């Protein structure tokens, strides 16, 4: 399956809609879509860490789990994961485990990114599987969504502190 810029942007808009929905339940707005080898949508996911009180409920893992359940296999050969933020170490590792073919992401995450920022877990030649990477697709839209989420919460006393600091990376740009 070819994955040109227009295709990547189209799926990223779907992922951004998921990200916006995550903010609706007070989760950091990160969204993901998993695209099948034939170019059809397999699953969507969004950050539900707060909603589910689950440290592993990141958008990427939600999408991977849903797609694997639908297909009845843990192997997601040939699939493309489109996500609004550079995956963390947990999610980058999961992409390798799932044998994902391609990763498309929007904004870099300078604080926790494990694809370009801090590590490159998905293209490490020592690992048994490597993932093709498309970086920076609609990055400004994703960064704006994250920034507005944290700006809106900055002056709410009970939320000040850890959760704002979590996205401190953006403040350093």
- Note the residues at the interface with Zn ion (CB under 5 A): 58, 88, 90-91
Per the CB < 8 A criterion, the answer to whether 141 and 135 are in contact is no
Which candidate in 41, 50, 60, 62 is catalytic?
A: 60
Least Cβ distance, residue 87 to Zn ion (angstroms): 5
Nearer Cβ to Zn ion, position 44 or 58? 58
Structure-derived torsion over alpha carbons of residues 44, 49, 52, 55, reported in degrees to the nearest 10: 110
Chain mean position to CA 149: 16
Least Cβ distance, residue 113 to Zn ion (angstroms): 10
Least Cβ distance, residue 88 to Zn ion (angstroms): 3
Q: Find all residues with CB under 8 Å of 69, minimum gap 6, and list them.
A: none
**Residue 60 annotated to the active site:** yes
Burial (CB < 10 A; 0-12, 13-18, 19+), residue 163, is: middle
Nearer Cβ to Zn ion, position 58 or 65? 58
Nearer Cβ to Zn ion, position 37 or 129? 129
Question: Could you give the CA distance from residue 172 to residue 77 in angstroms, rounded to a whole number?
Answer: 37
Catalytic residues, which ones? 60
């Amino acid at each position: 399956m070819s994955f040109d810029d227009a295709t990547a942007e189209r799926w990223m808009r779907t992922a951004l809609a998921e990200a916006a929905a995550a903010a609706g339940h007070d989760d950091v707005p990160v969204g993901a879509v998993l695209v099948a080898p034939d170019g059809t949508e397999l699953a969507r996911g969004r950050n539900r860490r707060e909603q589910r009180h689950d440290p592993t409920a990141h958008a990427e893992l939600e999408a991977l789990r849903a797609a694997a359940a639908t297909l009845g296999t843990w192997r997601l050969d040939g699939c493309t994961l489109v996500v609004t933020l550079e995956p963390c170490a947990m999610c980058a590792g999961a992409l390798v485990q799932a044998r994902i073919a391609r990763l498309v992401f929007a904004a870099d995450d300078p604080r926790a990114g494990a694809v370009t920022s801090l590590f490159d877990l998905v293209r490490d030649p020592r690992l048994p599987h490597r993932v093709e990477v498309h970086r920076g697709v609609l990055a400004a839209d994703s960064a704006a969504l994250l920034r507005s989420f944290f700006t809106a919460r900055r002056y709410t006393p009970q939320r000040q502190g850890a959760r704002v600091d979590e996205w401190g990376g953006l403040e350093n740009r």
